[in-house]
Structure 1
């Protein structure tokens, strides 16, 4: 074939390829020129394509997208979020009320994992792990003696159900390690952390979160306490950050009469949805007091708001967090998800739970609890003057638009808190010493038959002076005046932590709550017949003030239990 004929044959193909390539290049680069307006999606695609093709170094586009998406979504409001697959798995575990692990609680003591309790019937109990064992090796890798965090332990010891993990265990004073292989299984996480009789007729229930199993746990707690003579209840929602709407509606239903409005949601493209009590509740006539604080959020606020607006019981404590945005979730195939705010929650009286926020200033929003502390919200109720008044079913005035303001304001108890106590607490020396003491005296302490007997024994021991010496050896010098000022607070924490090591979480609360100011006032109001809202003197707020000292708050995770 002659050169002229070859050119004529191939020319249309080359021209077509050139046009296609030009269109492709133009679609990418024209968006950076003056070719007209381009929507946001087109810009994002163009930027990622440009980076992928032209950036000086190799870029993991998938990782770049994962890092960029949270920043894009979080600009909308404080609670819209893109959630990675790994974080989504953890959040699902919290809601589902279980995770897959070896079934122990632990404390990292001197860079060594100490087993502080065994989950009954769990994998570790079956494998022969014992309380106070030290985990030295994980899958033949030495971890003792290295800087290790709680997050590191969770990552190493939790895993897929049915998978195995080999542990090197040091027990007592034995120099030889014991090799134990544990097959991971489902470990329950109780969201109702305690349910016991505070008096002969008043039951106490501590709800830590609202997960998928919380309603069943709550009903069991109510039934248990009723069988022991309870006909009044204190429901403690302090520090409860929320959870499932369906679950909290079912729980509030236990206290309300048929037709009572519990909560409603409304949004721009979200038709109003109302949730009503169906009349099947088992505690419709029982006295109820709800305890809240500045960390009670979302579902906790729905619970408190429904009880308050229906004039069903008293809400006591401090103004709640103020999270009342409804999120709709969309899942991606890789397990990640986006939660987008589509509506707002409102209490029966029409109060919006959500506190104010300024678009883009979400760091300030996250620091709101600290800001409220600094401006005095936790020690007086005067800041309620900025809130909006609403009327309950019975005509009482309540305030809203910025969280739930309690019927009875009780200032934050800071008696005994001072710079020395906060230093010891923030370094976690109280719980650290409680674990150390429990381990040193485990044989004697395990002989006690009840938490009450053990607590009485511990209050007679020189625990505080031992703690002061322990902290001194770690660089915190004693301050005698402050130590004496904080004596009762220190002893209360120490005794409660040690009791927990031998009798569990519920016993911890039963000991710690004996001197809790909100609990004492809740019991007092119930016993004096003031648990009915109409019995409370209708002032702007009935406030109870305590002896106060300005003191920086102890971190929320102080004293937390970690399970793997």
Structure 2
């Protein structure tokens, strides 16, 4: 024994290793025949990729094959289980986190040059005096103009690690000079609360475009500022909001619901139910609230609307929401990519699921908007098809329905084709692009307009209006511009305000032509009148 004693530790280590290997394979329900078998489904895919890698006659990018395979697998599931490639992970993460590290500008390429559209307030560029219209010619000695650099390549040269410096050479055409400026890269917020202002003397307006990590804090700051300005009522605009983090939606709903009220519950594959209740932390409980939704309001937006509606709180205004009642969890795949996999369904407090059917495939699922348009649902609430078996009642007896979105308490139809076209041109970038080109010709003409004077005194004249019509005609956009003259001029002024002063100001100017906000004002006036009559009695 002594002769071979030195081998004992080696033999012991080998035995432990074999034991770990066997333990990894062991399932207590397995038969002995299965003990040393591999997972044939996974092994089949791995072997196929290996065969292509090592044996196939031509060179093949197997990474792209894996991406296609993953997408094909997910396509067999629900429409919201999706694959996020490594190349997109950073952008997705930044969007959901609510910030990025950079120099803090919004830019567009004019010709072959980066031109600043807006320096983000309190960002590195804003602090160093970078202005809209400035051209960035060089970054750390690298020439950025005159090259066919992709947008991503340009972004990569300007982004970097926090605290690192970048030296820019900037051309300011309004002063006919170039200058150097050194910036320290810093955290730059990506706002999810994209507008907040006083709609009337006592009604605050807050618009949220997604539910990111920073959303709740942004909302609290905006609400606090507006309450200091006299806000006693709130319009929460969730139109076109596709959702985001479930936990953030719960925290936001908690702001309005009393302690102990059910916000929602989720149920997973194993039938496990998890409930979320409101707490005492809400700062806007028992106050009038109007929630705006439309056919593109989904997921977390529907959680807010459903929680308030099912608890008989507030008024949901607009059109039937998208109908997404599934919850995803992001899971890393080990190579920098990830998958967002549906892990549970959520239910509103009355127990309804608002998930619409996806039995006919993903394309049909996303085309249901066109079906709603053709059926007349976007024009008349009476055209909304409901199923009696999916009827629920709130504590006060109001009837609500599951199976395909939140049906509003107050319906507001979609606008005319031309009204919608004006809004579509704005969101598609035609208004911002035209205004940018217009301002580039002579920004100095607006130097005499402080923001308050711009709001009250500046008018978009007929010359600018006609130029915009010509701009649209060159891009084959046809509509009755003169029938929409007031709205078009308002949107032109709003975009000038956004690029010269503040996006919040631009949003406030557009609100004057917003049918849903007009309906909110009407409803609020009626409620105020009713309250006054009750007081008088």
Q: When the two structures are superposed, what TM-score results if normalisation uses the length of structure 2?
A: 0.83
Deviates further, 215-224 or 169-178? 169-178
Alignment of 1:434-513 (within 5 A): 434-451=435-452, 453-454=454-455, 456-460=457-461, 462-472=463-473, 474=474, 476=476, 482-513=480-511
Report the counterpart of residue 188 of structure 1 in structure 2.
189
| Structure 2 residue corresponding to 1:516, chosen from 503, 514, 517 | 514
CA distance in 1, matches of 2:68, 2:167: 34
After TM superposition, the structure 1 stretch with the greater mean CA deviation from structure 2, 84-93 or 399-408, is 84-93
**1-side partners of 2:70 and 2:457: how far apart?**
55
Q: Is contact 1:445-1:454 (8 Å) kept? A: no
Q: Which runs of 5+ in 1 are unaligned?
A: 1-35, 533-564
Change (3 A) 1:364 1:455: farther
Separation in structure 2 between the aligned mates of residue 415 and residue 140 of structure 1, nearest angstrom: 50
Counterpart Cα distance in 1 of 2:480 and 2:164: 50
CA drift at 1:459 = 3.6
RCO comparison, higher one (Cα < 8 Å, 6+): 1
Partner of 2:331: 330
Per-residue CA distance 1:237-267 (angstroms, 9 max, x = gap): 0111111111111111111112111111112
- Three-state SS of the structure 1 residue aligned to 2:272 is strand
Distance in structure 2 (CA, Å) of the matches to 1:510 and 1:194: 8
Q: 1: distance between equivalents of 2:108 and 2:164?
A: 23
Provide the residue aligned with 1:224 in structure 2.
225
The residue that corresponds to 2:11 in the other structure is none
Gap change, CA 1:249 and 1:279, over 3 Å in 2: same
**Partner residue of 1:402?**
404
Query: Could you tell me how far 1:63 is from its partner in structure 2?
Result: 4.1
Aligned residues: 492
Matched, 1:70 2:71: yes
> Post-superposition shift, 1:221?
1.8
Residue 308 of structure 2 is matched in structure 1 by 307
CA distance in 2, matches of 1:85, 1:427: 27
Q: Residues 386 and 401 of structure 2 are in contact (CA less than 8 Å); yes or no, is this contact kept in structure 1? A: no
Q: SS state of the match for residue 462, structure 1?
A: helix
1:282 paired with 2:271, answer no
CA contact 1:302–1:347 (8 Å) conserved in 2: yes
Question: 2:179, 2:76 → 1: CA distance?
Answer: 52
Distance 1:84 1:171, change over 3 A: same
Q: Deviation at 1:143?
A: 5.0
Alignment-derived partner of residue 47 in structure 2: 46
Deviation at 1:160, TM superposition (A): 3.5
Correspondences of 1:179-328 after superposition (within 5 Å): 179-269=180-270, 271-328=272-329
* C-alpha contact 1:107 1:114 (8 A) present in aligned 2: yes
Unaligned runs of 5+ in 2: 1-36, 531-537
Within-5 A mapping of 1:9-48: 39-48=40-49
Say which of 485, 503, 526 aligns to 2:524: 526
Q: Aligned residue for 1:366?
A: 366
Per mean C-alpha deviation after superposition, the further-off stretch among 260-269 and 106-115 is 106-115
Give the alignment of 1:538-549 within 5 angstroms.
none
* Residues 144 and 446 of structure 1: CA distance in aligned 2, closer, same or farther (over 3 Å): same
Alpha-carbon spacing, 1:385–1:270, altered in 2? closer, same or farther (3 Å): same
Q: 1:100 Cα shift?
A: 1.4
Change (3 A) 1:227 1:182: closer
- Per the alignment, residue 17 of structure 2 pairs with none
C-alpha distance in 2 between matches for 1:62 and 1:178: 45
Whole-Å separation in 2 of the counterparts to 1:131 and 1:278 = 45
Deviation at 1:147, TM superposition (A): 7.0
Q: Does 1:378 align with 2:360?
A: no
Q: State the 1:439 CA deviation.
A: 3.0
Give the secondary-structure state (helix, strand or coil) at the position aligned to 2:88: helix
Contact 1:100–1:185 under 8 Å retained in 2: yes
Judged with a 3 Å threshold, the aligned counterparts in structure 2 of structure 1 residues 428 and 253 are, in CA distance, closer, same or farther, namely closer
